[in-house]
Amino acid sequence: MSECGCESHQVQIREPAMEARMETMNNYARTGNIRGLYTSIKDDPQLLEDMDKVRFIHTPLHEAAAFGQTSFALEILNLMPSFGKKLNPDGLSPLHVAVELKNITTARSLVRMDKQLVQVKGKEGFTPLHLAARNASNDDELEILANFLHECPESIHDLNNRFQTAVHVALEYNDHNGASTLLLKWIRLTSRESILGSKDVDGNTALHTAVKYYRTEAVKVLVELVKLNPKNECNETPLDIADKYPTDLETVKTILIDAGARKEEQLPKVPSKVQYLRSKVTFFEYLFQLCFSAYRDFVLNLRSDIMVVAVLITTATYQAVLQPPGGVYPPEGNSRLAMSDAALSTHVSGSAGKTVMKLRDYHDFMPANTAAFTLSLVMILLVVQGQPSSIFLLLCLIFLARSYYSAMKIISNSSMLTTSLFYICTVVTYFALGLKLLFIVVKSLIDEVWTPRLNTVAHNKIHDRCMGRCIQTHIRRLVRHYHLIKYGK
């Protein structure tokens, strides 16, 4: 019993001693006394580990960041890397503190040692990047914002507790220092325009936010980078928001209208998820589902098998047209080609390079061989991966087909049959190529795998401007059906 009492007493008297040592170490942090840091470690080797066990604590690293003691901060971050992501009772990491108190050198040095510190979420879900975007007020502070983006580009995708990106924050809080301009310029140069379509808790994109807070310069940039007519949770487009304040937002409204923006009432009605699932399946959706199911079952699931067999057939048939059965007539005065005496005896002047086989045999062989080659090539065209990068492979296949048909014409001894085969197979091959290219373009636009700029142009200039509301409604339903089938959402 007494032992327990003694142990309890030891804990009680040890706690104030630990707090005293922590205060001593924080004093060293304020003055940048690295020698004092190691003196404290010698006196209590477990002190840093004991601090690390506390979920929210103001560490010496926080203190060094607050007072701009860069050398001390880097020293203790090297000893205890976990301190870099530790939040103090105010919900701030050391990097948050350095940014908040504008200790630029310290902030930059911490990020250089550990890039992931830029993505630490603190109070209200703000990362140091959010904080820098909100607070930057001069060139030096804009420099640290640019440094964060350079060191940790992924941080641009981080959201706070209101699902806001750093762009949302800069547009909402910072209207005079160019933080939003810097962010938009960086996003444009690094082709990360898709982040601008991210919606906050109220469903507002960057364009909604720019219009709401009358950021004219940002609106001028955004209308070229994003879709113009997204709706927020109140079913308002950016133009609807601008229309609420006709006097104050007249310039912004003009920019939106000139770019082709529309009000919610001018857009086709898009059913909610519940309404869509309750609605009757249209003919186009039913047809699309049949085609997609067939493609998935017979192409995607058997792609590797189809590709192997088709390549073998293509290779064999291409070789057969280069070396047809019986060979070809040699050049004039050259009999080195391995041919029968009967064939040589029937050699006709001017037939060099033509196939030796009889016309009846040619009529049996060449159509079958050409049909096998063409159909196998079509299968390769259809089952090859539908990605933009595969376009070069498709072009190679077309050149291969062209060389086959040219070889067929060269060895032909029946011009009428060869011409018919040439035109029929060329039409079939190019029709398959057109279908594949159309599939790649449509799939890429739906999945948005092209550059964000192309997706935006296609949506703003073609979909919203050139298509009627009825066509837009059907397209939106088909896109939703596609995502439902493929992704289950």
Could you say which of 229, 264, 279 is where a domain stops? 229
Q: Are residues 188 and 309 in the same domain?
A: no
Q: How many angstroms separate the CA atoms of 319 and 424, rounded?
A: 21
User: Over 70: is that where the pLDDT of 96 sits?
Assistant: yes
Of 2 and 148, the one with more pLDDT? 148
Q: Give kind and range of the element (H or E) at residue 47.
A: helix 47-53
Q: Is residue 469 part of a domain?
A: no
Q: Is residue 296 part of a domain?
A: no
Helix H, strand E, coil C: the string for the chain is CHHHHHHHHHHHHHHHHHHHHHHHHHHHHHHCCHHHHHHHHHHCCCHHHHHHHCCECCCHHHHHHHCCCHHHHHHHHHHCHHHHHCECCCCCCHHHHHHHCCCHHHHHHHHHHCHHHHHCCCHHHCCHHHHHHHHCCCHHHHHHHHHHHHHCHHHHHCCCCCCCCHHHHHHHHCCCCCHHHHHHHHHHHCCCHHHHHCCCCCCCCHHHHHHHCCCHHHHHHHCCCCCCCCCCCCCCCHHHHHHHCCCCCHHHHHHHHHHCCCCHHHCCCCCCHHHHHHCCCCHHHHHHHHHHHHHHHHHHCCHHHHHHHHHHHHHHHHHHHHCCCCCECCCCCCCCCCCCHHHHHCCCCCCCCCECCCHHHHHHHHHHHHHHHHHHHHHHHHHCCCCHHHHHHHHHHHHHHHHHHHHHHHHCCCHHHHHHHHHHHHHHHHHHHHHHHHHHHHHHHHHCCCCHHHHHHHHHHHHHHHCCHHHHHHHHHHHHHHHHHHHCC
Question: Which CATH number belongs to the domain containing residue 86 in this structure?
Answer: 1.25.40.20
Residue-averaged pLDDT of the chain: 82
- Model pLDDT for residues 275-320, shown as the tens digit of each residue: 777 777 777 777 777 777 777 766 666 777 888 899 999 999 999 9
Q: Are residues 31 and 141 in the same domain?
A: yes
Q: For residue 195, count CB atoms less than 10 angstroms from its CB and return exposed for 0-12, middle for 13-18, buried for 19 or more.
A: middle
Could you say which of 229, 253, 273 is where a domain stops? 229
Q: Are residues 57 and 183 in the same domain?
A: yes
pLDDT band for position 246 (50/70/90)? Answer: low
Q: How many angstroms separate the CA atoms of 327 and 352, rounded?
A: 11
Q: Are residues 186 and 319 in the same domain?
A: no
Q: Are residues 164 and 313 in the same domain?
A: no
3-class secondary structure, 456: helix
Q: Are residues 158 and 31 in the same domain?
A: yes
Could you say which of 184, 206, 229 is where a domain stops? 229
- Model pLDDT for residues 339-366, shown as the tens digit of each residue: 444 444 444 445 666 888 888 888 888 8
Please name the residues in contact with 388: beta carbons below 8 A apart, sequence gap of 6 or more: 440, 444, 449, 450
pLDDT band for position 478 (50/70/90)? Answer: low
Q: Compute the average pLDDT of residues 262-274.
A: 76
Q: Are residues 222 and 324 in the same domain?
A: no
Q: Is residue 279 part of a domain?
A: no
Q: Are residues 190 and 314 in the same domain?
A: no
Q: Are residues 25 and 134 in the same domain?
A: yes
Q: Compute the average pLDDT of residues 358-383.
A: 89
**For position 165, what pLDDT does the model report?**
96
Q: How far apart are the first and last CA of the chain?
A: 63
Q: How many angstroms separate the CA atoms of 290 and 95, rounded?
A: 55
Q: Are residues 207 and 319 in the same domain?
A: no
Among 370, 471, 457, 475, smallest CA distance to 412 is for 370
**For position 241, what pLDDT does the model report?**
92
Q: Are residues 73 and 183 in the same domain?
A: yes
Q: Is residue 95 part of a domain?
A: yes
**For position 349, what pLDDT does the model report?**
47
Q: Is residue 24 part of a domain?
A: yes
Q: How many angstroms separate the CA atoms of 444 and 207, rounded?
A: 24
Among 327, 319, 323, smallest CA distance to 356 is for 327
Among 148, 91, 157, smallest CA distance to 116 is for 148
- Model pLDDT for residues 115-135, shown as the tens digit of each residue: 999 999 999 999 999 999 999
Percent of the chain predicted with pLDDT > 90 = 40
**For position 7, what pLDDT does the model report?**
39
User: Over 80: is that where the pLDDT of 338 sits?
Assistant: no
pTM > 0.95: no
Q: Is residue 266 part of a domain?
A: no
Q: How many angstroms separate the CA atoms of 81 and 34, rounded?
A: 17
pLDDT band for position 74 (50/70/90)? Answer: very high
User: Over 60: is that where the pLDDT of 103 sits?
Assistant: yes
Q: Is residue 243 part of a domain?
A: no
- Model pLDDT for residues 15-26, shown as the tens digit of each residue: 556 678 788 889
Q: Is residue 377 part of a domain?
A: yes
Q: Are residues 313 and 221 in the same domain?
A: no
Place of tokens 């908040």: 100
Of 295 and 158, the one with more pLDDT? 158
- Model pLDDT for residues 411-424, shown as the tens digit of each residue: 886 678 888 888 89
Percent of the chain predicted with pLDDT > 70 = 77
Give me the number of domains the chain comprises: 2
**For position 180, what pLDDT does the model report?**
92
Evaluate whether 436 touches 381 at the Cβ level (below 8 Å): yes
- Model pLDDT for residues 200-224, shown as the tens digit of each residue: 999 999 999 999 998 989 999 999 8
Domain span at residue 78 reads: 16-229
Q: What does the block give as tokens for 409?
A: 């014409």
Q: How many angstroms separate the CA atoms of 429 and 107, rounded?
A: 60
